[in-house]
Amino acid sequence: MKLWALFEFVFLALLSSGYHLAISQNAGQCGSISLKQLVTNVGSDHNVTCNFCSTGAADTIRWEYAGNLLSSNLYTKVNSTASMVSLLNLGLTSRKGENLTCTSETESYRTLVRTGYPPDAPQDLECVTQNFVVLICSWKPGRDTNIETVYRACPGNSNGCTEVGTNNFVERDFYVFQDLLLQITAINYLGTRTSELFRRTERDFVFQPYTPELLRVLKGPSDFRLTVEWNESGQKYEHYVRIRSISNDSVVLFPGDKAWSDWSPLLTLDGLDTSNQTKDKIYPVDGTVLEVGTSLKFCCVADKGKIVEELTFGDLNTSTIELSNRSQAVRVQNIAASIESGTNVVCRLNPAEYIGAVIYIGYPPDTPKNLSCETRDLQTLNCTWHPGRLTSLVSKRGTKYSLIDGSLREPLSCAEASKIYPDYWCGFPISNGSGIHNISLHAKNPLGETQSHILVDVTRVFHPFAPHQLRQEAITSITVTVSWSDQQDYTGTGLLCEMVIRDDSGAIMLRNYPITGGPKNARHTVILNNLRPYTRYLITARYSSPHFWKWSKWSNIIHVTTEQAAPSVSLNIWRRIKVTESCKDSVKRNVTLYWKPLEAAESHGPVLSYSTTWAKVGSNLSYSIETPTSNSEIQIDQAGYIITVIAQNIVGTSPPSVIRIRPHSDDVNLESVKVSGVGDGFNLTWQRNQAESCGYTIQWCPFLNDSECNITWQKFPSNVTSVALKSDTFQDGVRYNLEVHECRNDGDYLLKRLVGYTRELAPSEAPKLSIKETTGNSVHIQWDNIPVVKQRGFIEGFKVYYSKLYNDSAAFKPTDVQIQNIVGSPPKIINISDTKTFTITGLEPGTTYKVALSAYTGGGESPSRGVTVTTPNSPIAVILGVTLPLVGIITLGIILSIFCYRKQEWIKETFYPDIPDPKNSKILQDGNLPQGGNLCKTLEPKDCTPNEVQVVEEKPIAMETEKALEGNDKGEDVPEDSSDADNQNQGVVPYSPHRVPAESSGKTNPAFEAAALPSVYASEVTYTSIRDPGYQQQETPGDGSIEDTTEVIVKSGYQPQIHRATNVAPNREQPEVEELVPHASAYQPQAHRQSWSLDSGDFPLPETESIGSPTSINSQAFLIPERLLGEELDFRPNVKLWSLPFFQNSRMSSDSNNS
């Protein structure tokens, strides 16, 4: 092949045009085709001539191309022996080429046509070495040219070029420390293209080992360890195991990339389940760590002679794949993270044996989050981070962190998260307390490795410890000196100390002090100034670095109270003057001085006393008193005075407050003027009287009761003549007396006297109303004033309500009738506030009226107070009223008398018959009179009822039971009247068919009776009976005295009717019966008592002859009259028992409803 290529190349060199190859033969020679071989571009056109030797052959010519006959219009006859065919727009031929054949009858000639493309320039040179001796550099040839293309590789210049042939790789010696230069030229018949000059360094080379080849696989001493032997030559094996290799050389030896070798051919191994292994196995092996989300197959292989029964993976329900008797597999898709102790894969074998493996499924470590470092002592740098997503792997499979810093020689392995550091942390020493550290943190676990980096400037991550042992050093009234120490050696380090000073009101002052740190425990001192005297302060401090990173914690808090100082402001004082004695010459006046106590911020310490000094105007003589309270009282005469008040604390006195009292003069008594409030105060205006006014004082006091009111005042400067007076003390509905005083040189003058309410309310009380006079058609009423405190506003008028009272009952209603209750005429409104009488006219005589009165203010109407009044009748009405009934009675008497007279005989017969005479009696006459004692026969019934008395003795039980059950017994005709019971006891009315059954139903609940009867003898039975009377009775210990009772009960099942009266429980059993009642209301008796229910129809009929009588459900009366059954006396208890089911039934139904 190579030779052929060389041959072609020679031709190529000859044909310098190189456009296409057309090997010509002796043109025009007889017996030839014009082109022996044609290699040309796809799409080109060519003419080919065929010269035959025999004449006339051109007429019988056939042209074939690629096995197809060409149509005759494609070729032309040149002469009788020659024909020319035109090949137009040649398509892509096969790689071997297509034959073009001209055939005549006797001759046939052929030429080969091949088409293709010129080569592309070679690209992407890659060099691989497999042995570090030879480099194999290959390139991409680009488009397929369809015809043979050969390559020439030149090392940068044309010297030393290698003709490569058709391969697209070239082998070069592997040199290091030298770049490889290579230029590739691609050549074919249709063209030549040269690549760029490739330059490849050693780093660009790839080391790809030879493809290994597995020879055999040996099982190692431990599970799943294989010893693999291979060689690198060409023997072939089949499947199951294959291998590939990659270089593990370090960077130093070879800087280029490493690539996997190709896979070795597969080596057939015996299947484990077909081999004669001696141990059971499970795969993957115990302790394998897998990543969450992996999908894989777990496989269990049993030893020879065993069968795999079951294979489970954790608590996952997966279907097993039966591979063979001896092996099973479980395919788990997307496995979930396991718990700390791992996920168990358990394989149960037969004969019984368990094999298993613990697989740990987790995540590769997350990139450490929030990595940050700081220093607190300038000697160690502590880095903390958050591990990010948990890996679910712990212990030796857990994530291991290591820290790498340029200043550290070896990576620092880091501690795990602890309680102190919820995040992970690592600390390492730093030499000089400054500098920049490039820190990288590596996280590694069996599934992977990640890292994060941080650049740390130590001075910017300085987090100082809090100032230590803060304490006060000195105190004045306005300054406090404090000191503290450093917990660490911060010598020469800049620090910023922030002081927080908080007073008792909560106001906070912040002060910052730059500090230069000192050695450990050295103290720093600062003076906190501009504080207030006698104030308690809380002081605390904290540090930060001048390059703020974080505040330290707060230091301890100290409590400091500054020293006292003299009060800083004068007192706000006011006075009240009262003339106590006024004779012709001498006037004595009492002056009460008031002042407002100083605020704590003004007094600068507790005020010990107030000093009041007064002196007559123009006199040097002054008097002085001291009081501890906030007012003082002095007596002066008619002259003008100057009074001075000062407050005094332990340090000094306040500036004096001066007030002038002008000489006594008989003031014009100003009338109070009403003033309307504005809700929360008063709007006041006044005239300015004097140009030299020294201010105004408004004084007010509330009228709460008759005692003297508490004066309050407010001072205003002299330029104010109108104010909106407001105070927290103002209350709605309270009358205030206000005074406006003007301050002048010689004292204060009263300008205005006012009275008003900040907001009027309705009076809280109605005026007291009374009737003064009543006529036939008018009523004159009068009332009293409402007390001022209860007026709660200025009374504007009154409203009078009145209406007729139509029925008598209404007349008895309380007189304090509400307005709403009075219907009738609209109220008469009296708009005069000071009138106190009113006459209601236009009334009807002899009629009762309700009259009510209320007062109203701007705030509303008071409650009303009412009275009932009846206007006197007219005389005619009185006369008629007396005479008419009188006439009626007389008339009735007369009619009655007439009737009686006429029916005299009948009345006598009816009401007063003749008394028969015994002598005329028929009995006596007939001589039938029995002898002596026989007379008692008529009284026989009374004597013959002793048994009744016995029966009735149980009545009290019945009554008690009845009461206990009454609540549930509504609708039942249970007698409650004890007189009924009495009747029965006496036997006078021995029996009432309607009542007795019902009564007895209250008396004897079958359950109770069944319980109660035996309990006379054995109390245990009582309880068992309650639960199951039907059966428990049988269990009663053989006690002869009760045998018949129990027998009967047993016989009749649940039939309580057959009890004899003699078995009625004596009275002493009452408590038990009562006690049982609540039990009876529980579910147990009902449960087996269903058979009793008449509604259910299962009520057991007595087996003995029907002694009692069935009763109607609804009426509870006996359907068969008692006397028809005979033996009345014996039946009485039975009758009672008969009705028990009803009782029980109703109880049951109500119970079941409840439940």
Positions in the binding site for another protein (CB under 8 A): 285-287, 312, 314-315, 338-346, 352-358, 394-398
3-class secondary structure, 952: helix
Please identify, using beta-carbon distances, which residue of 337 and 569 lies nearer to another protein.
Answer: 337
Instruction: Give least dist CB 1034 to another protein, A.
Output: 42
Please identify, using beta-carbon distances, which residue of 394 and 526 lies nearer to another protein.
Answer: 394
Please identify, using beta-carbon distances, which residue of 354 and 806 lies nearer to another protein.
Answer: 354
Please identify, using beta-carbon distances, which residue of 339 and 989 lies nearer to another protein.
Answer: 339
Instruction: Give least dist CB 344 to another protein, A.
Output: 6
Please identify, using beta-carbon distances, which residue of 287 and 717 lies nearer to another protein.
Answer: 287
Question: Which helix (H) or strand (E) covers residue 1146, if one does?
Answer: helix 1140-1154
Determine the Cα–Cα distance for residues 331 and 146; give it in Å rounded to an integer: 50
Determine the Cα–Cα distance for residues 471 and 490; give it in Å rounded to an integer: 20
Please identify, using beta-carbon distances, which residue of 417 and 1129 lies nearer to another protein.
Answer: 417
Please identify, using beta-carbon distances, which residue of 398 and 756 lies nearer to another protein.
Answer: 398
Please identify, using beta-carbon distances, which residue of 285 and 323 lies nearer to another protein.
Answer: 285
Residue with tokens 């009960």: 1049
Instruction: Give least dist CB 366 to another protein, A.
Output: 20
DSSP per-residue letters across 481-499: EEEEE-SS--TT-EEEEEE
Write the CA distances from 125 to 143, 153, 199, 693, 763, integer angstroms.
16, 11, 9, 111, 112
Determine the Cα–Cα distance for residues 796 and 862; give it in Å rounded to an integer: 11
Instruction: Give least dist CB 363 to another protein, A.
Output: 17
Please identify, using beta-carbon distances, which residue of 87 and 290 lies nearer to another protein.
Answer: 290
Please identify, using beta-carbon distances, which residue of 285 and 412 lies nearer to another protein.
Answer: 285
DSSP per-residue letters across 395-425: GGGS-EEEEEETT-SSPEE-BPP-SS-SSEE
Specify whether the CB–CB gap between 366 and 387 falls below 8 A: yes
Instruction: Give least dist CB 324 to another protein, A.
Output: 23
Instruction: Give least dist CB 358 to another protein, A.
Output: 4
Question: Which helix (H) or strand (E) covers residue 907, if one does?
Answer: helix 904-911
Structure tokens at 498: 């922030």
Total residue length of the chain = 1155
Instruction: Give least dist CB 445 to another protein, A.
Output: 12
Q: Burial, 311: exposed, middle or buried (Cβ in 10 Å; 0-12, 13-18, 19+)?
A: buried
Q: Burial, 372: exposed, middle or buried (Cβ in 10 Å; 0-12, 13-18, 19+)?
A: middle
Please identify, using beta-carbon distances, which residue of 355 and 495 lies nearer to another protein.
Answer: 355
Instruction: Give least dist CB 303 to another protein, A.
Output: 15
Specify whether the CB–CB gap between 668 and 775 falls below 8 A: no
- Quote the distance between the C-alpha of residue 378 and its chain's center: 46
Strands 108-116 and 35-41: parallel
Determine the Cα–Cα distance for residues 1074 and 1080; give it in Å rounded to an integer: 10
Instruction: Give least dist CB 424 to another protein, A.
Output: 15
Please identify, using beta-carbon distances, which residue of 396 and 1123 lies nearer to another protein.
Answer: 396
3-class secondary structure, 91: coil
Spatial CB neighbours of 705, under 8 Å, sequence gap ≥ 6: 789
Please identify, using beta-carbon distances, which residue of 326 and 397 lies nearer to another protein.
Answer: 397
Please identify, using beta-carbon distances, which residue of 397 and 664 lies nearer to another protein.
Answer: 397
Query: How would you list the strands of the sheet with 343-350, edge to edge?
Result: 289-291, 353-362, 343-350, 307-313
Instruction: Give least dist CB 277 to another protein, A.
Output: 17
Please identify, using beta-carbon distances, which residue of 359 and 959 lies nearer to another protein.
Answer: 359
Specify whether the CB–CB gap between 672 and 754 falls below 8 A: yes
Structure tokens at 600: 């704590």
Residue with tokens 């058709």: 166
Instruction: Give least dist CB 225 to another protein, A.
Output: 14
Instruction: Give least dist CB 425 to another protein, A.
Output: 18
CB-side neighbour CA atoms (13 Å) of 358: 8
Strands 206-207 and 778-783: unpaired
Please identify, using beta-carbon distances, which residue of 124 and 416 lies nearer to another protein.
Answer: 416
Determine the Cα–Cα distance for residues 10 and 22; give it in Å rounded to an integer: 14
Spatial CB neighbours of 178, under 8 Å, sequence gap ≥ 6: none
Instruction: Give least dist CB 346 to another protein, A.
Output: 6
- The closest alpha carbon to 544, from 459, 424, 427, 666, belongs to 459
Specify whether the CB–CB gap between 588 and 596 falls below 8 A: no
Please identify, using beta-carbon distances, which residue of 159 and 395 lies nearer to another protein.
Answer: 395
Structure tokens at 959: 């009554």
Spatial CB neighbours of 1034, under 8 Å, sequence gap ≥ 6: 1046, 1050
Instruction: Give least dist CB 347 to another protein, A.
Output: 10
Instruction: Give least dist CB 333 to another protein, A.
Output: 18
Please identify, using beta-carbon distances, which residue of 363 and 1118 lies nearer to another protein.
Answer: 363
Instruction: Give least dist CB 354 to another protein, A.
Output: 6
Specify whether the CB–CB gap between 669 and 755 falls below 8 A: no
Residue type, 1021: V
Instruction: Give least dist CB 343 to another protein, A.
Output: 6
Instruction: Give least dist CB 397 to another protein, A.
Output: 7
CB-side neighbour CA atoms (13 Å) of 825: 17
Spatial CB neighbours of 845, under 8 Å, sequence gap ≥ 6: 776, 777, 871, 872, 873, 874, 877
Query: How would you list the strands of the sheet with 657-661, edge to edge?
Result: 622-627, 607-616, 641-649, 657-661
Spatial CB neighbours of 681, under 8 Å, sequence gap ≥ 6: 724, 725, 726, 727, 730, 758
